Structure 1
Amino acid sequence: MTVPVLLGSVRRDRQGIRAARLIVQALEARGHEAPLVDPMELHLPLLDRMYKEHPAGEAPEPLERLATLYRRADGFMIVSGEYNNGIPPALKNLLDYFLEEYFWRPSGIVCYSAGQFGGVRAAMQLRMTLAELGMPSIPSLLPIPRIQQALGEDGVATDERTGKSAARFLDEFTWYARALRHQRAGGVPY
């Protein structure tokens, strides 16, 4: 399967890259393609025009590349920190460039924070946004509290709990992604 991993932070000392690396490595270990979509590398401006609002073939190159990737996707992994109890602005901006490309594909939410709650307050808001975009999130979350201690710079879990939680979360996500891929192959409601 193809599962883009959308990272939601452009902060200089961001910790979310650790969680993104964990998920990319875990998906690839299962034989899936897991390209990292990093807004820090894309340098997308604040949303002025969605991808679909550009004349055919005239969207900026990063948007064309993302649209091609997203159309191949079987699902999406969203890696989100929690900024003032909400979704990071870079993630919201990244998500809002597209719509139809997300339809009928599940999303998994990996949330994190430096504190004990692991970003779950942002995840609750993110669930609403992802559903509206047509890629509803699976029931489980993968919260990573105290990310600076739970994961190394390379994305490797420093404790057994995080690794086991990630494996169960990915088992569930894979089930949903396969089920929806099967249903999409037979057509969608409209």
Structure 2
Amino acid sequence: MNILIFLGSVRQSSPPKPARLGERVALACQRVLRANFPDSTIELIDPLDLEMEPVFKPHFAYASQSAPQHLSELATKIEAADGYVMVSPEYNHSMSPALANLLNHFGASLFSYKPSAIVTYSAGQWGGARAAVGLRTFLGELGCLPVSAMLHLPKAHEVFDTEGNYQDSVSDKERWDSYFNRTFLQLHWWCEATRNQREIQDPHNLISDFKQAPSQRNAPD
């Protein structure tokens, strides 16, 4: 199985600790997924590793073969993936603008017919739960429908260290693992199911992708 974890933060640090809080959460997701599914490829996509243009221009807006290499490489990874984990903090009761910016660089056809999992976090007590509400709709429009179980991680700086491992002060690590697995086992099940079905029949041959003009999706006049 091939799963991409998208980190939805470009902050260099997060209060109340100097290290990036989102990176801790994303690394924890990667650790748990690798432990459960050792034969799978679990890759973390960090927007700080990508050189985004100052003026927004998505990958699909470039002429053929002229897109920046880093966008084309990521587009290839997205298309080849079997599922996605979206890690987001909460901004004004909504998903991270950094995550929206990153995902909006790519067309929905790359993500579609695959599952996703929503992971939100905060330094406070709510765990970014309200961000997940809008994120469900966003991912639905991309075609990578989120599984029903979500992860909300309050006071994440008290749970995870900078490597994504549990802090020594965390007493019930097994319960935390169970909480993660509630979501990731669902994700893996759907990854297998959709991959098997894509091998039987390419869904893009059933419903044509939007390629040229919005009118391709319009109802008849």
1:175-190 matched pairs, under 5 angstroms:
175-187=189-201, 188=203, 189-190=206-207
* Alignment match, 1:18: 24
Match of 1:3, SS state, is strand
Instruction: Could you tell me which runs of 5 or more consecutive residues in structure 1 were left unpaired when the two chains were aligned.
Output: none
The answer for the alignment partner of 2:77 in structure 1 is 69
Equivalent position SS for 2:150 = strand
Instruction: Output the CA distance in 2 between the equivalents of 1:18 and 1:74.
Output: 23
Does 1:45 pair with 2:59?
Answer: no
Instruction: Measure how far apart 1:47 and its partner are.
Output: 6.1
Give the aligned partner of residue 101 of structure 1: 110
For 1:21, the aligned partner's letter is: L
Return the alpha-carbon distance in structure 2 between the equivalents of residues 172 and 40 of structure 1.
29
| Structure 1 residues 47 and 33: CA distance shift in structure 2, 3 A | farther
Gaps of 5+ in 2: 14-19, 208-221
Using the size of structure 2 for normalisation, the TM-score is: 0.82
Pair 5,47 (structure 1): closer, same or farther in 2 beyond 3 Å: farther
Counterparts in 2 of 1:46 and 1:78: CA distance versus 1, 3 Å: farther
TM-score by structure 1 length? 0.95
- Partners of 1:184 and 1:117 in 2: CA distance: 37
Question: Equivalents in 1 of 2:96, 2:54: separation in Å?
Answer: 13
Q: Contact 1:150–1:162 at 8 Å: present in 2 too?
A: no
Report the CA distance shift for 1:53/1:70 in structure 2 as closer, same or farther (over 3 A).
same
Number of positions where the alignment pairs a residue of Structure 1 with one of Structure 2? 190
Give the structure 2 partner of residue 152 of structure 1.
161
- Percentage of matched positions with identical amino acids: 36
1:28 is aligned to: 34
Over the residues paired in the alignment, what is the CA RMSD in angstroms?
1.3
Structure index of larger Rg? 2
What letter matches 2:5 in structure 1? V
- The ranges of structure 1 where at least 4 consecutive aligned residues each deviate by more than 6 angstroms after the TM superposition are none
Q: Report the counterpart of residue 119 of structure 1 in structure 2.
A: 128
Q: CA deviation at 1:168?
A: 2.1
Contact 1:4–1:70 under 8 Å retained in 2: yes
Q: Counterpart of 2:180 in structure 1: which amino acid?
A: A
